[in-house]
Amino acid sequence: SAIMLAAAIQLSSVPEQATNLRAAYDWLARARSAGASLIVLPELFPSYGDLELAAKQAEPIDGALISGLREWTARQGVWLVTGSFAEFDPATTAVYNTSLLIDPRGAIAARYRKRHLFNIDLNAATRCSEGDVFTPGDALTCVTTTAGTLGWGICFDLRFPEQFRALSRAGMEILLAPSAFTE
């Protein structure tokens, strides 16, 4: 069987999308030049730290953010997992924390919407409520590719093992779990 190099990009994303996109494209280029053919970005890489701002910047899948990543991926001929981004669904006006798999031709091969949203409210200084801005997804995602059979979770989903048991039963060989943890 063929050997594939995968790259997991780690960013310290900030609320400003332009800053994060510059860093992401720089690291994508570095990963590709190192020979990676499967590249994974982190959770909410375009805008992190202010969930309300991230939701306000939400884009549909055919928006500029994903279109740019699809073009880059097609030029490079790699598999790209978009980590996650705030997806605006024009049909329902809901905003999801969404991860996409883009194939080497630039086509969207899979979509996963985070199912388990992180909500904690201990005090004014320790509060994070993804449920205030995101709608939970309701489906598992498992897809067979030349890279193997990929299954998804995003960050807090990791706390719910039944999701991964179900993905394993569906044939998952590689778990994708883009994450961004709070301080």
Q: Which two tokens stand for residue 100?
A: 């996409």
Whole-number Å distance between alpha carbons of 130 and 134: 6
43, 87, 130, 142: which one is catalytic? 43
Is residue 87 part of the annotated active site? The answer reads no
User: From the candidates 87, 130, 142, 155, which is the catalytic residue?
Assistant: 155
Q: In the block, which residue shows the tokens 């001929």?
A: 77
DSSP 129-159: EGGGT-PPP----EEEETTEEEEE--GGGGG
Based on the residue annotation, tell me whether 128 is a catalytic residue of this protein.
Answer: no
Is 114 known to be catalytic?
A: yes
Separation of alpha carbons 77 and 17, rounded Å = 25
| Residues involved in catalysis | 43, 114, 155
